[in-house]
Chains A and B, each alone.
Chain A
Amino acid sequence: MDSLGQFEQIVLTAILTLDGNAYGVTIHAKVEELSRPKKVTRGAVYATLDRMEDKGLISSWLSEPTKERGGRSRRHYRIEKSGEKALRESARTAQRLIETIAQTLGGLAWKPR
């Protein structure tokens, strides 16, 4: 299984937290929130979504067209089993990193922000 890049982890987490309402606009908003203070372009989110879909980590489908979108459909995203697994693995690695850094910098009362 391929390991996830940092941005992929953020996008996957955004889809996971948005549950049934994950589409371009909401995912971008959530990704911006998670990546603060860094600004993220929506295009980068689309490109990452496409890449993760090709890897089979997420799946997508089109909703019914809506008036507030000029009669266009939303592309909804959902995390797949392999995506969940990859995200769990990344979280475990991050946890180990946090623990190691906290142990090393413990004297400085270091805390992840």
Chain B
Amino acid sequence: MEATLNEPPPWLEQMVLLAIPPAARESVAGDLWETYQSPHQYAAEALRTVPFVVLSQMRRNLSPLALMLQGALIFLCLGGPATLVFLPFLMLRDAYQPVTRPTPRRAIREAILLSSWAMVLLFLFMAHHPPFPVRAGVDPFTWLSLFLAALFLSPFLCLFRAGLIMQGDRRMPLAADNLSKDALAGAYQTFLKTAFCRNVLEGTALAFAAIAGFFFTWNVLLIGLFVLAAVYLLLDTIPRVASAGDFVSLRAQYQRELLRQEQLRRALRWLWFAPVLVTLQARLAITATDAQDMVIALLNGVAAAILCFLVAALNREFGGRVQEQIGLLDRMRES
């Protein structure tokens, strides 16, 4: 392909870059640049290309079980119309999953913003939802105490987020630009062994949790999900020995397995927290009759919002680590 002397206008390029999901940005934007003829051609080509790329990334990154659990939780807490609004947003978020972990500053800013938004949304929800006439019967002192408590949650969430980042910084494997085939095979084999042990342990723990669920009278659907997840994990434990192949094949296998295991983990994180969230939702749904009940309901709501934030933060951090590792592997050369 011949190099073109023309370049797309920076503003147009920025718009196109924003529209392309991060995982495909480098190659797709480069291809568009390489075939640039005029702003009109560039924009038309981008419009024809980007929807396919978004759908493809959505298919690649989406974890159906995680999406199903999130959808069910939104449905339980906010109802059908909200689920219809949130589900496409969640799917798009999967397509636009960042390829790097957030910087500490950004992560902490996100924590503050999210906790503030959770509080505001919760307040609005409580104020307008029929079973929660917020003002009736609750004295101003209680309200002030609740919001002060919420205010102190931000530092806690920031600490949690910073802790995750620091832990991730300590454990970034495969940071080399060049690696021999044997070293790559060794790293892949170690990863497979770790994943195997983790799956056996988590599968067993899920099975025990499902049994415990019978005694704690959990929702039947929830017990069923735990059993299914346990069976899947225990059947998925056949050791995958890195098959013979050259450096490129080995790297592709490693990347695919990294992504598959992360999708699985993302769903499992939501699943582990689902019983608590369902219990909190069940308490929220009880129509409050006096001020004391309403305060408890409100606290349950706050707890549910924080728990959702924690699961999302865990998924964001661990997902970012995997994407970063896939990116490193993409650029790695055989030494």
Contacts and interface: CB of A to CB of B under 8 A. Distances in A.
Contact of B248 (A28, A61, A66, A75): A61
Binding site secondary structure of chain B: helix
B29 A75 contact: no
Given A56-B252, A80-B252, A72 B45 contact: no
B31 A23 contact: yes
Contact of A43 (B26, B52, B330): B52
Given A62-B27, A68-B3, A78 B248 contact: yes
Contact of B33 (A47, A60, A72): A72
A41 B252 contact: no
Q: How large, as a class, is the contact surface on chain B?
A: 35 or more
A57 to B, nearest CB: 10
A47 B55 contact: yes
Interface residues of A, number: 32
B161 interface: no
A75 B27 CA distance: 6
Contacts, number: 99
A59 interface: yes
B49 A54 contact: no
B137 interface: no
B51 interface: yes
Given A46-B49, A69-B33, 8 more contacts: A23-B27, A51-B59, A59-B252, A61-B330, A62-B331, A68-B4, A70-B7, A72-B30
29 contacts: A25-B31, A41-B49, A42-B31, A42-B45, A42-B48, A43-B51, A43-B53, A44-B52, A46-B28, A46-B53, A47-B52, A47-B56, A50-B57, A53-B252, A59-B252, A61-B331, A62-B26, A68-B3, A68-B33, A69-B33, A70-B13, A72-B33, A73-B30, A73-B331, A75-B26, A80-B245, A80-B249, A80-B252, A81-B249
